Amino acid sequence: MRKKNFLASILFSSLVLAFFTFPFLFAQQKNSKETLGQWAIHDPERPLPPIVIPGPLLPPVPPPSDAIVLFDGKNLFNWVDSKGQPARWKVEGDYMEVVPGTGNIQTKMGFGSCQLHIEWATPYPPKGSGQDRGNSGVFLMGLYEVQVLDSYENKTYADGMAGAIYGQYPPLVNACRKPGEWQTYDIIFHAPKFDAEGKLLEPARMTVFHNGILIHDNAELTGPTAHKARPPYKAHADKLPLMLQDHSHPVRFRNIWIRELE
């Protein structure tokens, strides 16, 4: 009975939060699409999103029956480095950890449109500031990045903070937990579509939840994400590997699963 009451309480709190915040979030996301061009890439004057404190930390979310489990805490069998060699990140407990200098890792399988669940934690105690603090990234199709960063009481440019679609859209809110605490991304990604001649038919789109809080609402990407650049779309395969970034910080990941959306 206590468990049921607790879950009911969490659900009620989430509904109340959604009632008061969703209109604001929708307006902000619409505005970001209309005004993206007015901001320089990584513009330090771009407004930072408001801080929202996420709900209580819950146990890892188990994968649904139709999910492809990419990392269950046991090994890196499903991952390779950029040269196709076995991934060299550390596996300990139920998580993998970036080994600085070993390079990015990517899945052996390719994916297009998908639902992705991934949990991550930045180092504790924290070191550095700005972009030099718990930096990594989740790259859909190896091209479209949702930034991983310790953005708890750590200021950086808005389109490069935790949850940003890097170089394009800041998150609607800053929902970061403290360094060392586990955090979640739930990402709905719709891959871009190209015609037979390579012309863009539909841009990529993302909806992202950070720690259960909506931070991108069907955001339309301008092209692949990049540092100090907004490159245009170029035709590519329908399915490409998911990539995790080695940015020289020992960021941890666990409980990674994906559902293909055809």
| CATH code of the domain in which 197 resides | 2.60.120.560
**Amino acid 231: pLDDT:** 96
Contact 210, 184 (CB under 8 A): yes
Alpha-carbon dihedral 42, 123, 59, 153, rounded to 10 degrees: -50
Strands 183-190 and 114-121: antiparallel
Average pLDDT by stretches of 10, the chain with 262 residues: 43 41 44 68 95 92 95 97 97 97 98 98 97 98 98 98 98 98 98 97 98 98 96 97 98 98 88
CA distances from 98 to 42, 159, 204 (A): 25, 23, 28
Domain count for the chain, please give it.
Answer: 1
CA-wise closest residue to 247 among 129, 98, 50, 108: 98
**Amino acid 122: pLDDT:** 98
Whether pTM exceeds 0.75: yes
Tabulate helix, strand, coil % of the chain (nearest 5). 15, 30, 55
Strands 200-202 and 193-194: antiparallel
Q: Give residue for tokens 């930034």.
A: 147
Q: Structural domain of residue 246, as residue ranges?
A: 2-260
**Amino acid 38: pLDDT:** 83
Euclidean distance between CA atoms 92 and 130, whole angstroms: 28
